[in-house]
A = this chain, B = another copy of it.
Amino acid sequence: MAEDQKIKEKCSDCSVRELCFPMEITDADMTQLDVLVKTKIKVRKKEYLYRQGDEFNSIYAVRVGFLKTAITNSQGEEKILGFNMSGELLGLDGFANNKYESSVVALHDSEICVIEKNRIDEISQTFHPLQNCLQKILSTEIVRNNNLSISMSSMNAEQKISTFLLNLGQRFKMRNQSENHFILRMTRSEIGSYVDLTIETVSRTLRKLESMGVIKIHSKLIKIIDINKLKENLISCQT
C-alpha cells in the first residue's frame, strides 16, 4: 500500500463531497461527515490501493486521480470491472464477506480518503442519513452494473467503444474537466478487458472512428470531434 500523507481538507470543504455522499445535509450535520474520514493517503501510479482477498476494514473515496478496479479469475486473467475517478467510492464489495473481492490499482497518482468501516457503523447508529446514503450508494452500484451488463451484451465493437468514450467524457464533464478532450489513462488492453473486446479490435475500432472523423487520437490523448455523431452512431449502427 502507499505511504501515508496528511492531506488537509475536510469533507465539508471538499469539492467532490456531493459525489461521494449524495445526501442533503445541514451545516450542523456536516461535521458528522468530517469525522468520517480519518486519514487520507496517496497511491502512486501502478500501486495497489487494496488487493482481492485483503481483509475489509475500510471503504475509500477517490479525491483526485484515476484508478482501475479488477478481478483476477481462477486462470489468472484480469477482468477490468471499472475505472474510477474523483468522488467515487471504492471497496463496496467488501461488505459481503469482510474481504475485498476485487483489486484496485492507480493508473495515475491518486489521493484517497480512507473511511473505516467501524467508523461508518458508529456514526450511522446515531446519524441516520448516513445509513440511508450508504444504502443508496450500494444500490446505485448494483444499478450501474446492471446497466453495464445490458450495454456490453447487446452492442457491437463500435457501439461499445463509442459508449465507453461518451461515458468517460461525461464523467470528466461532471468534474469540470473537458468532456471531449481527455487522456486515456488506461491501455488498449485494459479498455478491451472492460468492454469485452481484444486489444486489436479496440485499436481498429478507435482508428475506424477516427477515419470517420468522429474522434482524433494522439496516442493516449483523445479528442472527440463530433460528439453528436458519436451519439447518433450509437443508435444507428445496429448489430
Contact = CB atoms under 8 A, between A and B. Distances in A.
A95 B149 contact: no
Interface residues of A, number: 38
A141 B18 CA distance: 24
A71 B138 contact: no
Contact of A142 (B79, B135, B141): B141
A62 B176 CA distance: 44
A131 B142 contact: no
Interface string A146-161: 1111101110000000
B93 A146 contact: yes
A169 interface: no
A143 B93 contact: yes
A77 B152 contact: no
Contact of A96 (B77, B96, B101, B139): B139
Interface of A: 71, 73, 77, 79, 81, 92-97, 101-102, 121, 124-125, 128, 131-132, 134-136, 138-143, 145-150, 152-154, 196
What are the 3 tightest A-B residue pairs by CB atom distance, in nearest-first order?
Answer: A95-B139, A138-B138, A96-B139
